[in-house]
Structure formats: structure tokens, C-alpha cells
């Protein structure tokens, strides 16, 4: 059984697209996944599966979630090793104000790179492979993109703060042990 991490995009935000975590865990178990765990209500999922392909795991989750909840949800799937590489590759010294956007496609990588020109308030953005590191030295409450660009950022990948990324990695590595 392979251990997988899933990050669901755009759920439980502002009371929209509600996906209760207990219901999500049950749905995953019904789909044949085991050792299913979630971390906070923003759609961080850990599980084991006999499936060895990230694309197959993603397709299974997206299909089941849409069937059950009635709306499509993009699920970004990573292995614990891929998540470890993300953590080890942080290009910034200030991890407290770091975030990672997990990207799904080459088009999303290009879209995020295009946003670099719209950064404000000393924010930094670095795209590395299938993820983008974001540093917001003044915190997220102080905008990090020019108006208009901020709406585009929310439509590419799915972002998590550094604390969540490292906690999910710890849980994934525990599950592998």
C-alpha cells in the first residue's frame, strides 16, 4: 500500500463548497482507501491506497467527491517523498511567513510565473517544479499581489501555509513508518 497526501482546492472557504472532514474520511474509506486521516478543515488528506499512480488516485478522489458533494473539487496528490522535497527546498530563510501552492499542470506553473510581476509589499514568489513558494514578509493580511492578480492566484494550485505543510509532512512520514 502506498501512502498519499491529498490537498483539496477551494473547499470550506467562506461557508461555500462545504466538505465536512468526517464525511470526507468516510467517503475515502468507501472508495477503498485505508488509514484515512485529515488535518484541519481546509482539505488536507492522508491515506493509503493500492493505487500506485498519482493520476489514478486523483481521478478516484475527484470523481467520488463530485458524486457525493455535488460539485467538482480539484485534488492535488503528492507522495510523502515529494512533500519532503518541497520542505527541504524552501528557498526563503523566513519559514514563518512562507506558503506553498501545490500546482496541478504546466498551465498553472506558467500562470503563477506570470504573477511575479504583480508582487507587492516585498512578497517573493518562486516556482519550483510542481509547486510555488510564496513569502509574504508582512503577513497575508497585507496583500501580496496587485489588485486583479490576487483573483488569478486563487485559481491556480492550492495554497497552504508553512505550518500546515510541515504538519502534513510529519503525519505522512509517520504513516510510512
Residue 122 has pLDDT above 80, yes or no: yes
Predicted confidence at residue 79, as pLDDT, reads 97
Decide if domain 2-78 falls under CATH 3.30.70.360.
no
CA dist 122 → 21, 26, 48, 101 (Å): 35, 43, 40, 18
Which pTM does this prediction carry? 0.93
Q: What is the pLDDT of residues 1-28, one digit of tens each?
A: 999 999 999 898 877 899 999 999 999 9
| pLDDT tens per residue across span 42-66 | 899 999 999 999 999 999 999 999 9
**Range 138-152 average pLDDT:** 84
- Confidence (pLDDT) at 112: 86
Provide the grid cell at 67: 458524486
pLDDT class of 93 with cuts at 50, 70, 90: very high
pLDDT above 90 for 160: yes
Residue 139: the pLDDT is 86
Q: Average pLDDT of 98-105?
A: 93
Q: What is the pLDDT of residues 63-86, one digit of tens each?
A: 999 999 999 999 999 999 999 999
Answer yes or no: is pLDDT of 153 > 80: no
Rounded to the nearest 10°, the torsion over CA 15, 18, 23, 25 is -100
Q: Of 27, 37, 39, 40, nearest to 3 (Cα)?
A: 37
Per-residue pLDDT, 148: 82
Rounded to the nearest 5°, which phi and psi values hold at 71?
-145, 150
What pLDDT, on the 0 to 100 scale, is given for residue 24? 97
If you average pLDDT over residues 81-105, what whole number do you get? 95
pLDDT at residue 128, as a whole number? 93
Highest mean pLDDT among 32-41, 136-145, 152-161: 32-41
Amino acid at each position: 500500500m502506498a501512502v498519499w497526501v491529498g490537498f483539496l482546492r477551494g473547499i470550506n472557504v467562506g461557508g461555500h463548497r462545504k466538505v465536512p472532514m468526517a464525511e470526507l474520511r468516510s467517503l475515502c474509506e468507501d472508495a477503498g482507501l485505508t488509514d484515512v486521516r485529515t488535518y484541519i478543515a481546509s482539505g488536507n488528506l492522508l491515506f493509503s491506497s493500492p493505487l500506485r499512480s498519482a493520476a489514478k488516485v486523483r481521478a478516484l478522489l475527484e470523481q467520488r467527491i463530485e458524486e457525493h458533494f455535488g460539485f467538482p473539487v480539484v485534488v492535488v496528490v503528492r507522495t510523502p517523498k515529494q512533500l519532503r522535497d518541497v520542505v527541504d527546498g524552501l528557498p526563503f530563510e523566513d519559514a514563518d511567513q512562507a506558503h506553498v501552492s501545490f500546482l496541478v499542470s504546466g498551465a498553472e506553473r506558467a500562470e503563477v510565473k506570470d504573477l511575479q510581476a504583480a508582487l507587492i509589499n516585498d512578497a517573493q514568489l518562486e516556482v519550483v517544479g510542481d509547486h510555488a513558494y510564496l513569502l509574504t514578509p508582512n503577513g497575508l493580511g497585507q496583500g501580496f499581489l496587485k489588485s486583479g492578480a490576487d483573483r488569478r492566484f486563487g485559481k491556480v494550485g492550492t495554497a497552504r501555509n508553512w505550518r500546515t505543510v510541515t504538519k502534513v509532512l510529519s503525519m505522512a512520514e509517520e504513516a510510512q513508518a
